[in-house]
Amino acid sequence: MAVVFEKPHALTDAPLHYCPGCTHGIIHRLIAEVIDELGIEGETIGVASVGCSVMAYDYFNVDFVQAAHGRAPAVATGVKRADPSKVVFTYQGDGDLAAIGTAETVHSAARRENITVIFVNNAIYGMTGGQMAPTTLPGMVTQTSPYGRDVEAVGYPIKVCEMLSQVDGAAYLERVSVHDVAHVRKAKAAIKKAFQNQLDGKGFSLVEIVSTCPTNWGVTPEKALKFVESDMLPYYPLGVYKDIYAEGGEE
Amino acid sequence: MGDKVLMKGNEAIAEAAIKAGCRHYFGYPITPQTEVAAYMSKRMPKIGGTFLQAESEIAAINMVIGVASAGYRVMTSSSSPGISLKQEGISYLAGCDLPALVVNVERGGPGLGGIQPSQSDYWQATKAGGHGDYHNLVLAPASVQEMASLTIKGFELADKYGMVAMILADGTMGQMMEPVEIDDIEIKTVEKPWALTGTGMKREHNIVNSLYLKPELLEQKNFERYEKYAKIERDEAMFEEYLMDDAEICLVAFGITSRVAKNAINEARAKGVKVGMIRPITLWPFPKKAFEARADQCKAFVSVEMSMGQMIEDVKLAIECKKPVYLCNRVGGMIPTPEDILSKIDEVGGAK
């Protein structure tokens, strides 16, 4: 019988622990498909972060190190400097990358560290039960912003792609989404480019993926996907924020 | 080689690390250890190594974790406030059983403290400064030559046991210049089948991790680690004895204070006072055996420290409080003088 659909080789058989409707599963699959298509499984080393994706090391069929909260880009720097022939990527959430790990994010970009960063932005701390994140939208209700995020009291969300686009070292920055099939396909193309850039020695490439958290948003998976389109994307516009090698790019 | 050269202690550490095969250094400027970074920044690019000035001590220790995960020898250095920042990463290194060398050229504290020499990070170094049950191997050099030899030893022990080796040097050791000989050595490598080298599609994927959500597994990992620590306490303790054969008073000192103590001992001996010294070279494992042997022989012990009395607790434990243990100390960047030590010897009954 002809096989019409199968699991990418770069994913293990371990059952994912993610909540029903969470988009981490889609993103894991996209990364694994890219690893398969580029034929880099044997040379790839992943760096897991702290948050819902902490156990990513169990799901990808590649060598993995589990980093402390926010430190994945620093750990990835060490792995890549140790052996530049390896393909090194981090997988980080918004609390990890844009709050506690802001310095590591900015400076690994500034160094044009030749790594790939997959940044999952679902505007909330999922693993710890739904607290306000650096990317929580103004007015959004979370466990630690029960009356809605009051920007006068706690400040504004961090727009990571916009911020890093001011950093000379960053080579490629794109924000994508996985809320429908068309956007999933675009997300995969961006992830593939971010890995290909590393193979080509082009330096720091980050893909921000606007994602969902039905459990902690307190909505159905379907409503969560609609919330991405109606509320998240107006605040976090999709697109390429920087590509220094593109036509008309800076280099 | 084979020639003696005049070097600062900090530079001796850097050159010895290179001789030991370390090709990756990550640091952040802080007095009084900056010469380690400066030396590495000159040497590493010439030998195909990595020198990287990180954005913080936290980033530097995490870069160390990355290189250690990949199976290569790696180090970082800092001074007291910076070492506090590294504790998170040191705990992760312990939890992942990764080898690395961490150098602390201590200055006075707490807080920003001062920039003059100190030994007040003894507890932090020997009792595990980060979270969780763990130890680091802690080596305390007392000369520029030992700054070099213990650096090499530190890399070997770190690889042998899969853990952090820390050079705990006071600021004096980092800054003073002495003749030193750093020969080419045969690098003792160990197999690292757990290292992240890429599967090459030939083996199961390797995972370097400190997370164990099942409590029985985490308990088991801790038990295994402590079996390793027990072996280290048995096999790796190092110390030097000075004029202990007939000593009635035993000074205990490491680093620069052991040098001062020797002067004081020589002066006291000239007056007929029977005093000697045990100098711990490994602070963890603390050389308990050396003390067991002398606990009955000596009538008093004096812990000479540049802290408010930290090592003194280990001395009391090592002799099981069989004899009185006194403290002779200066802190805040002050170094005890031979006179300070002599008057303490008088005070504890060593006067003739």
> pLDDT by residue (tens digit) across A71-92?
999 999 999 999 999 999 999 9
**Residue contact B55–A75, C-beta within 8 A:** no
The stretches of chain B forming alpha helices (DSSP H) are 9-19, 34-43, 57-69, 80-96, 122-126, 144-161, 171-175, 215-235, 256-270, 288-295, 311-318, 338-345
Q: What value does the mean pLDDT take over residues A209-227?
A: 97
Chain A residues with CB under 8 Å of B71 CB are 82
Inter-chain CB proximity B55 and A103 less than 8 Å: yes
Residues of B in contact with A115 (CB under 8 A): none
Residue A200 pLDDT > 80:
yes
Let me know if residue B346 belongs to a domain.
Answer: yes
Q: pLDDT averaged over chain A?
A: 97
Q: Are residues B264 and B229 in the same domain?
A: no
Q: Which of A55, A64, A82 sits opposite B70 (nearest CB)?
A: A82
Asked if residue B352 has pLDDT above 60, the reply is no
Domain range list for chain A: 24-243
Closest to A98 measured CA to CA, from A162, A5, A10 = A162
Q: Would the pLDDT of A251 be above 60?
A: no
Clarify whether residues B180 and B269 are in a common domain: no
Question: What amino acid occupies position B341?
Answer: I
**What is the per-residue pLDDT for B188?**
86
Band (pLDDT 50/70/90 cuts) for residue A247 is confident
Mean pLDDT of the region B32-60: 97
Whether B1 shows a pLDDT value over 60: the answer reads: no
Is the per-residue pLDDT at A248 higher than 80? no
Contacts with B88 from chain A: Cβ below 8 Å:
68
CATH number of the domain to which B167 belongs: 3.40.50.970
The count of structural domains within chain B is: 2
**Best mutation target, A53, A63, A89, to test chain B (most B CBs within 10 A):** A63
Q: Which residues from B are below 8 Å from A10, CB to CB?
A: none
Q: Is A43 on the interface with B (CB under 8 A)?
A: yes
Q: How far apart are CA B54 and CA A73, in angstroms?
A: 12
User: What is the per-residue pLDDT across B82-91, written as a single tens digit (0 to 9) for each?
Assistant: 999 999 999 9
Distant-in-sequence, close-in-space partners of B155: CB < 8 Å, separation ≥ 6: B17, B20, B21, B22, B73, B75, B99, B101, B165
Query: What angle, rounded to 10 degrees, do the helices at B57-69 and A102-110 form?
Result: 70
Q: Chain B contacts of A74, Cβ < 8 Å? A: 54, 58-60, 62-63, 65-66
What ipTM was assigned to the predicted interfaces of this complex? Answer: 0.96
Q: For residue B208, tell me if it sits in a domain.
A: no
Q: Strand B24-27 relative to strand A205-210: parallel, antiparallel, unpaired?
A: unpaired
What average pLDDT does the segment A190-204 reach? 98
Amino acid at A251: E
For residue B266, give the CATH number of its domain.
3.40.50.920
For residue B86, the distance in angstroms to the closest alpha carbon of chain A comes to: 12
Q: Does A84 touch chain B (CB under 8 A)?
A: no
Q: Are B332 and B116 within 8 A, CB to CB?
A: yes
Domain enclosing residue B249, as ranges: 240-350
At B108 the pLDDT is: 96
> Which residue on chain A is closest to B73 by alpha carbon?
A82
Under the banding of pLDDT at 50, 70 and 90, the label for residue B216 is: very high
Q: What is the mean pLDDT of residues A52-61?
A: 96
B282 lies in a domain?
Answer: yes
- Binary contact (B24, A82; C-beta < 8 A): yes
> CB distance from B346 to chain A under 8 Å?
no
Contact partners, residue B304, CB within 8 Å, separation at least 6 = B251, B252, B253, B257, B258, B260, B261, B328, B329, B336, B341, B344
The answer to whether residue B114 is domain-embedded is yes
Same domain, B57 and B177: yes
Q: What is the pLDDT of residue B349?
A: 81
Task: Work out the average pLDDT over A92-116.
Answer: 98
**CB B66 to CB A57 under 8 A?**
no
Distance from the Cα of A63 to chain B's closest Cα (Å) equals 5
Asked whether residue B56 carries a pLDDT value surpassing 90, the answer given is yes
- Banded pLDDT at B2 (limits 50, 70, 90): low
Give dist(CA A157, CA A56) in Å, integer. Answer: 26
- Within a domain: B209: no
Does a structural domain hold residue B211?
Answer: no
CATH of domain A24-243: 3.40.50.970
Residue of chain B with shortest Cα separation from A86: B198
Q: Let me know whether B177 and B326 are in one domain.
A: no
Decide if A78 and B58 are in contact by the 8 Å CB cutoff: no
CB atoms within 10 A of CB A94: 25
Beta bridge partners of B275: B249
Q: Do A65 and B209 touch (CB under 8 A)?
A: yes
Contacts with B, A 3-22, CB within 8 Å: 12
Residue A107 is nearest to which of B55, B198, B210, comparing CB atoms?
Answer: B55
pLDDT of residue B350: 66
B278 and B312 assigned to the same domain: yes
Distance from CA of B109 to the nearest CA of A (A): 26
| Residues B22 and B103 grouped into a single domain | yes
Q: Is A41 on the interface with B (CB under 8 A)?
A: yes
Does residue B351 register a pLDDT over 80?
A: no
In this structure, are B289 and B343 located in the same domain? yes
The CA distance from B196 to the nearest CA of chain A, in Å, is 6
Residue B92 shares a structural domain with residue B121: yes
Residue A1, pLDDT score: 80
Q: Please indicate if any CB of chain B lies within 8 Å of the CB of A176.
A: no
Domain presence at residue B73: yes
A150 in contact with chain B, both atoms CB, cutoff 8 A: no
Give A125's Cβ-side CA count (13 Å radius). 18
Report the alpha-carbon distance of residue B183 to residue B180 in Å, rounded: 10
How far apart are the C-alpha atoms of B291 and B282, rounded to whole Å? 14
* B340: in domain: yes
Percent of chain A with pLDDT over 90: 96
Q: What is the mean pLDDT of residues A221-239?
A: 98
Hey, is the C-beta of B233 within 8 angstroms of any chain A C-beta?
no
Q: What percent of chain B has pLDDT over 70?
A: 99
Whether B56 and A64 lie within 8 Å, measured CB to CB? no
Q: Which of B235, B262, B287 is the last residue of a domain?
A: B235
Q: How is residue B342 written in tokens?
A: 């002599």
pLDDT at A67 over 90: yes
Residues B230 and B253 in one domain: no
Q: For residue B142, what pLDDT is reported?
A: 98
Mean pLDDT of A171-192: 98
Looking at the fold, whether B258 and B226 belong to one and the same domain comes out as no
Same domain, B150 and B285: no
Q: Are residues B151 and B246 in the same domain?
A: no
Summary mean pLDDT of chain B? 97
Q: Phi, psi at residue A47, to the nearest 5°?
A: -125, 115
Give the gap in angstroms from C-alpha B328 to the nearest C-alpha of chain A.
Answer: 40
